[in-house]
């Protein structure tokens, strides 16, 4: 009887966890093929896909999406890992980490707008160096809306590096990192090599899901892409929104 109850409890927990995901996936697939009753669309067919494939610059949009999403996630992971590794076990690290929390509460669009004011050709960053460098006009290049998506990558880094750093910091607080570093040092590894070869593989199972969440957002964000991303053509999420 106890075994049956445990099995039923497991099934119930799995259904509660997976059920909303499956419902969301079903609604997404329905909308992809034209079934969207909230907007009065009740005919199932390939018309939405034809509309998407007819969008100009679709291949470039997909390339930009992969480039910006993978780059932001990769660089963000590396920067967050380097930050946690360099500050671990130091008093400055314990005092610095709480200052990263406000970045999590800040809306993505607000960060994008603030970064646009900083990185624009006539923005605050250029104004700080205009007088010392005797600059009288804005430069010809721009990081906001650039065709390579550099501004979008920077915006994603500003938002996601604090998130990943806090996740990694919480993860290493539950691991015997100091003991591993001492053992790796006794085998001739430097501190950085020990973090990469010993700590990171053992920490990865705990931070894998947050990293995938960051990747999924970087590949599908709309608000930051509208403000900082390339516009002609835009990334795939903006293309789908406009289609």
Summarize pLDDT for 58-107 with one digit per residue, the tens: 889 999 999 999 999 999 999 999 999 888 877 776 777 777 777 778 88
pLDDT in tens, 104-162: 788 888 888 888 888 877 777 777 766 676 767 767 777 788 888 888 999 999 989 99
Of 216, 182, 214, 228, nearest to 77 by C-alpha is: 214
What pLDDT is recorded for position 93?
Answer: 67
What pLDDT is recorded for position 1?
Answer: 65
Burial class (CB in 10 A: 0-12, 13-18, 19+), 197: exposed
Indicate the pTM of the whole model: 0.83
What is 58-242's CATH number? 1.10.3720.10
Question: Nearest 5°: phi and psi at 42?
Answer: -130, 10
- What is the rounded (10 degree) CA torsion for 117, 123, 124, 128? 160
| Range in 20-29, 122-131, 180-189 with the lowest mean pLDDT | 122-131
What pLDDT is recorded for position 24?
Answer: 83
pLDDT in tens, 28-64: 888 878 887 777 777 888 888 888 888 888 889 999 9
- CB-CB contact of 194 with 86 (8 Å): no
The answer on pLDDT for 188 being more than 80 is yes
SS3 track for the chain: CHHHHHHHHHHHHHHHHHHHHHHHHHHHHHHHCCEEHHHCEECCCCHHHHHHHCCCCHHHHHHHHHHHHHHHHHHHHHHHHHHHHHHCCCHHHHHHHHHHHHHHHCCHHHHHHHHHHHHCCCCHHHHHHHHHHCCCCCCCCCCCCCCCCHHHHHHHHHHHHHHHHHHHHHHHCCCCHHHHHHHHHHCCCCHHHHHHHHHHHHHHHHHHHHHHHHHHHHHHCCHHHHHHCCCCCCCHHHHHHHC
Segments making up each domain of the chain, as ranges: 1-54, 58-242
């Amino acid at each position: 009887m106890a075994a049956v109850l445990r099995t039923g409890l497991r099934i119930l927990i799995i259904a509660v966890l997976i059920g909303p995901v499956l419902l969301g996936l079903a609604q997404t697939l329905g909308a992809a093929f034209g079934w969207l009753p909230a907007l009065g669309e009740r005919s199932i067919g390939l018309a939405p896909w034809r509309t998407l494939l007819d969008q100009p610059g679709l291949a470039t949009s997909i390339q930009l999406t992969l480039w910006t999403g993978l780059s932001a996630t990769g660089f963000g992971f590396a920067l967050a890992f380097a930050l946690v590794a360099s500050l671990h076990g130091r008093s400055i690290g314990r005092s610095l980490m709480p200052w990263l929390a406000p970045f999590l509460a800040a809306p993505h669009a607000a960060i994008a707008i603030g970064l646009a004011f900083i990185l624009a050709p006539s923005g605050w960053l250029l104004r700080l160096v205009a007088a010392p460098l005797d600059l009288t006009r804005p430069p010809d290049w721009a990081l906001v809306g650039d065709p390579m998506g550099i501004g979008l990558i920077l915006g994603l880094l500003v938002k996601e590096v604090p998130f990943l750093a806090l996740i990694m910091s919480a993860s290493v607080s539950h691991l015997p990192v100091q003991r591993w570093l001492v053992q790796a040092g006794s085998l001739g590894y430097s501190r950085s090599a020990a973090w990469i070869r010993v700590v990171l593989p053992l920490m990865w199972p705990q931070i894998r899901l947050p990293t995938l969440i960051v990747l999924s957002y970087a590949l599908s964000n709309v608000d930051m892409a509208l403000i900082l991303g390339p516009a002609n053509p835009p990334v795939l999420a903006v293309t789908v929104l406009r289609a």
